[in-house]
Structure 1
Amino acid sequence: MKVYTKTGDQGKTSLLGGTRMLKSDLRIEAYGTVDELNSYLGLLRDQEVNVGLRSELIEVQNYLFVIGADLATDPSKTKVKKPPVTNVAVRELEVAIDRMDEELPPMKFFVLPGGHPSVSFGHVARTVCRRAERRVIALAQEEEVSEEVVIYLNRLSDYLFVLCRWMGLKLEIDEVPWVPR
């Protein structure tokens, strides 16, 4: 099977179900941003500090593919076979957040991103997650979008923030407080 099909050479792509649309469409932007987020999750998974979280991060990446498939499906094509978007994945994130948070000192200030490349990668992933959430919400204002997708992306950004703090703790990096002038 060839990687290139040439069907997108004119600026259009196909959704699951066959609907053709411009690559600049908000739906394409939404699942493209989820794809970008998934790549950053791969980068986080590859960080040595996260060796014990690799299976958890792979689960998150797998679920982002589920979300991508959901977003890449024309809502009017009801017979397209795709994995279901459920709230079980949200609960799994909440359990992981609570587990990591138990090890962390309470937050007493806003934290500036950075301190170590692994932590910085995590904050980039978090901000891409927030952008994906904004794109999905914008899409939901125009077309049908699963509520669970929005909830998952919101919770995932929380997970990524806590993961950044947790990585900093494990790497013995001091959190730098935001000090307004």
Structure 2
Amino acid sequence: MGNRLSKIYTRTGDSGETGLADGRRVPKDHPRVEAMGEIDTLNSQLGLLLAELEEAQAQWPGLAELIEVLQPCQHRLFDLGGELAMPEYQALNEAEVTRLEAAIDRWNKELGPLKDFIMPGGSRLIALAHLCRSLARTSERRCQQLNASEPLRPVGLAYLNRLSDLFFVAARLIARRQGRAEILWQAAPVPV
């Protein structure tokens, strides 16, 4: 990608449109722009999770593995945003989906089977991982919405789907490595 921003504001979006990298102008609420925005939001939230993990690893060294697995995800999300901005650009590949699946499988072995629904919480890190999970699902929905009218490459859709699964398992692993009990869902009491 050769283009670099030399000026942050251009005033070209003041009328409610934005430019894509291929030169097209589209409304700012176009499904492509919505998908790019959700991926950007997820990437920002992942940045916060990674910053918190960096600070916490001194106290809980077992968190370093999560950083190693999650850090590349920021770059791949940026790649996916690039693919959405420049439909001819292709950066993601199946190896990234396989990498996420391998981490999920490895972490799940440590965690064991899930027997109850889990609530997002227990520690700030656990809650942040769940927030990333829910934002990954929103990103996936926006991309699927776009895919219905403008087909996307299947690898990007699979990546987002697997990424949300990774965040769910990461939240559970954080709880385990912090020695925190998972907050289990409690059904509403049955009225008598």
Q: Shared fold (TM-score greater than 0.5)?
A: yes
**How far does residue 83 in structure 1 lie from its aligned partner after superposition?**
4.2
Contact 2:80 2:156 in 1 (8 A): yes
Match runs of 1:96-107 below 5 Å: 96-107=103-114
Partner of 2:160: 153
Return 5+ residue gaps in structure 2 as ranges.
1-5, 58-62
Paired amino acid for 1:8: G
Farther-moved stretch of structure 1 (32-41 vs 53-62): 53-62
Counterpart CA distance in 2 for 1:158 and 1:52 is: 17
Structure 1 residue ranges, 4+ long, deviating more than 4 angstroms after superposition:
none
Equivalent residues of 2:66, 2:170 under 8 A apart: no
Give CA deviations for 1:36-60 in whole Å, capped at 9, x if unaligned: 0011111111122443433322211
Q: Residues 41-52 of structure 1 correspond to what in structure 2 (within 5 A)?
A: 41-46=46-51, 47=53, 48-49=56-57, 50-52=63-65
Q: How many residues align?
A: 175
- CA offset at residue 27 of structure 1? 0.6
The 3-state SS of whatever aligns with 1:111 is coil
Contact residue 90 and residue 152 of structure 1 kept, 8 A: yes
Work out which of the residue numbers 169, 185, 190 in structure 2 matches 1:178.
185
Note the C-alpha offset of 1:23. Answer: 0.6
Residue type of the alignment partner of 1:122: A
Separation of aligned partners in 2, 1:141 and 1:123: 27
Identity of aligned residues (%): 39
Tell me by how many angstroms 1:7 deviates: 1.5
Match of 1:169 among 138, 154, 176: 176
Corresponding residue for residue 12 of structure 1:
17
The residue identity in structure 2 corresponding to 1:42 is G
Which residue is equivalent to 2:45?
Answer: 40
TM-score of the aligned structures, taking structure 2 as reference length: 0.86
Amino acid at match of 1:177: L
Larger radius of gyration: 2
> What does residue range 22-171 of structure 1 map to in structure 2 within 5 Å?
22-46=27-51, 47=53, 48-49=56-57, 50-73=63-86, 75=87, 78=88, 82-171=89-178
Measure how far apart 1:67 and its partner are: 0.7
3-state SS, counterpart of residue 44 of structure 2: helix
Report the Cα offset of residue 113 of structure 1.
Answer: 1.0
Cα deviations by residue, 1:76-102 (Å, 9 ceiling, x for unpaired): xx4xxx342211100000111112112
RMSD in angstroms over aligned alpha carbons?
Answer: 1.4
TM-score (norm 1): 0.91
Structure 1 counterpart of 2:60? none
Distance 1:89 1:12 in 2: 33
Structure 1: segments with no counterpart, 5+ residues: none
- Once the two structures are TM-superposed, the CA of residue 9 in structure 1 deviates from its matched residue by 1.5
Letter in 2 for 1:148: V
